[in-house]
Amino acid sequence: MKNEDVRSESINEIELSREILDKLSVFNIIYAEFAEAGAMGCCGEVLFYTIENSLLMCYKTDLFKDENTYAQAKRLLFKYSENKSLNYYYGGVGNHVFINKDVSLIIRDEHFVYRTGNKEYDIYSSVRGVFISVVYAMQNPKN
């Protein structure tokens, strides 16, 4: 495939709510992050990247806006990482990353890329340090 044939798609950011979380299939999650309340970077934040109708969606909330949705999202992510639907990576200093086990992400300079068909979707970690930690863990699975 030629590079000029691949289109990078933009991100649609939406506030994560309980209603959205109740309808969201964990199998549609490409990449997710959960940051503990005292984490470095975006403390108390949770984000999910999904593809819906060929659009990249980024759902976000945080502990300080919606504690109930934050707690529900945390339970969901850890539950599905334990049953191996999501691969878990420690992002360092209270940050946790979950990547769909059926998805292969391309590592670029400062972000991940999810490619499907002739489309590319840029997936950004909340902060650079999380990205670096996850890339290291992906490339060194035994460490």
Residue 4's pLDDT is what? 47
Tokens of 100: 């769909």
Average pLDDT of the residues in 42-56? 95
The confidence score (pLDDT) of residue 1 equals 41
Task: Give the other-Cβ count within 10 Å of 76's Cβ.
Answer: 20
Q: Are 96 and 102 in contact (CB under 8 A)?
A: no
- Count: domains in the chain: 1
Given the DSSP bridges, would you call strands 29-35 and 86-92 parallel, antiparallel or unpaired? unpaired
pLDDT at 2 over 50: no
Is the distance from CB of 36 to CB of 43 less than 8 angstroms?
yes
Which pTM value belongs to this model? 0.91
- Determine the structural domain holding residue 92 and report its residue range: 3-139
What is the side-by-side strand order in the sheet with 86-92?
11-15, 55-62, 45-52, 29-35, 95-100, 86-92
- Give the tens place of pLDDT for each residue, 62-115: 999 999 999 999 999 999 999 899 999 999 999 999 999 999 999 999 999 999
